[in-house]
Amino acid sequence: MPRFEPPRLLVVPGLNDSGPGHWQSWLQAQHRDALRVRQRDWSEPDLERWAERITHVAALGGGRRFVAVAHSFGCLALARHLAQQPDSPVVAALLVAPAEPDRFGIAGRLPPQRLPRSTTLVASDTDPWMKPASARRWAQRWGSHFVNLGDAGHINVESGHGPLPLASRWVQTALQRAAREQRIAHAEWGEWSFAV
């Protein structure tokens, strides 16, 4: 029987990456085995290339599952990845302050229906990159649990978000849930193979 490997954190930054003071970097520092998606050109928001890069980095996990945290344009790339990769090792995703797809002319290339994984979309009333009504619409389309932080800007360093305890709690809960589900499936597979 294959060895049980607990899920890992996958960090998916947005445009210009997330610097050392960003909540994604703070969160990554709490998880030594986390993987971070690094784009070849952080200033060029190319949906297909960014989604392919997520697929490539997730494959480096050697078959382990991931809980992903995405920010801004990274949320759009992750949604595209999940829609294109039904066997993605990403089992849950936190989408924080997604960028408005219409600003990039890519709304038609994003999934218009429920994403195949459990997702939570976190938005803000004062995000310059996406109005709260639009964030709520995308959350409904994707079947995401919706959280509005109120006056929180783009939920980045500029809006005062280095540490983001909400993200840390969500990740911890999602990792525990994914590990529990995986352990149950692992045990059932072991019983089945023994019975055969």
What is the arithmetic mean of pLDDT over 61-86?
96
Of 98, 85, 94, the closest CA to residue 15 belongs to 98
Query: pTM of the entire structure?
Result: 0.92
- Residue carrying the six token digits 């005062």: 160
Which structural domains are found in the chain, ordered by start?
8-195 (3.40.50.1820)
What is the arithmetic mean of pLDDT over 156-178?
95
Give Cα 143 distance to the centre of its chain: 14
Q: Which residues on adjacent β-strands are paired with residue 68?
A: 10, 93
Enclosing H/E stretch for 181: helix 165-195
Mean pLDDT over all residues of the chain? 93
The phi and psi torsions of 48 (rounded to 5 degrees) equal -65, -45
Q: 43 with 183: CB under 8 angstroms?
A: no
For residue 186, what pLDDT band results from cuts at 50, 70 and 90? low
- The whole-angstrom separation of Cα 90 and Cα 56 is 12
What string of DSSP letters covers 43-97? T---HHHHHHHHHHHHHTTTT--EEEEEETHHHHHHHHHHHH-TT-SEEEEEEES
For residue 1, what pLDDT band results from cuts at 50, 70 and 90? very low
Q: 22 with 155: CB under 8 angstroms?
A: no
